[in-house]
Structure 1
Amino acid sequence: MAGAGVRAAVEWLVSVAPDPEACRWVWERDPRGVALLPAGRRWDVLILPGELGHPTFDVLTRLVDRPGPVLSDFGSARMGFFVPPGTVDGWIGTGVRGAGRGTWIVVPHPGHRIVGAVRWLIPPDGTGTLNDATLLELAMHEAAATRAERGGN
């Protein structure tokens, strides 16, 4: 993603920041910089452990041309799937955590490729596209079933 797409993604992300200019300032001055942004306004985030998140990501990318934003943390131990606001309020899933209203998430600049830190696997496109929670749940079930068939935990 480059140019106008990155600018649109930045604007979409900083639109929830208490101080959008401060967020932009951090991202512009430190390519490894991250911003702390509130969840629950334009998105919630479902956080999966890496052993479920990676196969879920693989299934999801087979089901849709371009999934919504997905983050991965240090060492890919956890993955965060951006879903519509309010999703985590009714979410029940073993090992799956949610970031919704009243919580904050660490977000890197959408146009920087960072290795070994919080990074985008799929950056936001700036249009507000999110992962469909129902489709994500189906992908998680398929990933878990496949793992179980192969003897994974």
Structure 2
Amino acid sequence: MSDATPPVHALSGRDRARRLAAYHWLLESAPHRDTAGMEWTRYGVALLTAGIRWDVVRVPYEVLHPSFARDTAPRDLTQRLGELGVIGPVFCDPYRPFAYFMVPPRTDQQWPRDLAAAGVECLGGTRPYVYHVGVPQVERAAPPGLFWLAPPDEAKRQYVNPEHLHQVLHACVHQSTEQEQADAPQVIA
């Protein structure tokens, strides 16, 4: 690792070691480790390659809850993921607004395409597409910019369970569609 390693602010021994392990793990997906370290230091976000150590499932906020938008607070997103039973590393881009769920590499090869109409997509390394994803610095826990709801814990090698995530997202989309139909004005012929 280069001298451009982002600082791990005022953490105790074990927490510091876990954060550094997470950095090293994430950097395994960097096209150029020195560049990624510099990007984290300067910008708080580094461009990493999906499909090496992880794939990401990109989900619009409104799929998680119809009222969620750019200004949704991180605590509300975290609470919703708890309600849905989603565990594992998740980061957010509030500007777009999307949540990115880190799933095992090659998940994109089996990810069902039935949620694509809702804007849900699995980004991985399956050819011919290789996705480069902006990933926030491990310490970033709130906006502005990209931030982690749950940073990776390399010590546990924990991913979001893709099967559970798909079931949860499918249920959210189905529930939202049912609600829209119920709220639609009834036409009497």
State TM-score, norm by structure 1. 0.81
CA shift at 1:148, angstroms? 4.1
Asked if the contact 2:57/2:101 (under 8 Å) is kept, the reply is: yes
DSSP 3-state at the match of 1:3:
helix
**Alignment equivalent of 1:124, drawn from 152, 159, 168:** 152
2:104 paired residue number: 84
Asked if the contact 1:6/1:125 (under 8 Å) is kept, the reply is: yes
Larger Rg: 2
* Count of paired positions: 150
1:3 paired residue number: 16
**CA–CA distance in 2 between the matches of 1:109 and 1:45?**
16
Q: Report the AA paired with residue 23 of structure 2.
A: V
1:23 paired residue number: 36
CA RMSD of aligned residues (A): 2.7
Asked if the contact 1:59/1:142 (under 8 Å) is kept, the reply is: no
DSSP 3-state at the match of 2:57:
strand
Q: Report the AA paired with residue 148 of structure 2.
A: W
1:50 paired residue number: 61
CA distance 1:43–1:106, shift in 2 (3 Å)? same
CA shift at 1:71, angstroms? 1.4
Relative contact order, CA 8 A, sep 6+: which one is greater?
A: 1
1:14 paired residue number: 27
State TM-score, norm by structure 2. 0.67
Q: Report the AA paired with residue 28 of structure 2.
A: S
1:98 paired residue number: 122
**CA–CA distance in 2 between the matches of 1:5 and 1:33?**
19
**CA–CA distance in 1 between the matches of 2:123 and 2:65?**
19
Q: Report the AA paired with residue 97 of structure 1.
A: E
CA shift at 1:149, angstroms? 5.1
**CA–CA distance in 1 between the matches of 2:90 and 2:140?**
14
Asked if residue 137 in structure 1 is aligned to residue 148 in structure 2, the reply is no
DSSP 3-state at the match of 1:138:
helix
DSSP 3-state at the match of 1:37:
strand
**CA–CA distance in 1 between the matches of 2:58 and 2:109?**
14
Asked if the contact 2:59/2:98 (under 8 Å) is kept, the reply is: yes
Identity across matched positions, percent: 32
**Alignment equivalent of 2:138, drawn from 110, 113, 120:** 110
Q: Report the AA paired with residue 33 of structure 1.
A: G
Q: Report the AA paired with residue 54 of structure 2.
A: W
Asked if the contact 2:28/2:52 (under 8 Å) is kept, the reply is: no
CA shift at 1:74, angstroms? 2.6
Q: Report the AA paired with residue 146 of structure 2.
A: V
**CA–CA distance in 2 between the matches of 1:53 and 1:123?**
19
**CA–CA distance in 2 between the matches of 1:5 and 1:148?**
41
CA shift at 1:131, angstroms? 0.7
Long gaps (5+) in structure 2: 1-10, 67-76, 184-189
DSSP 3-state at the match of 1:124:
coil
**CA–CA distance in 1 between the matches of 2:109 and 2:166?**
15
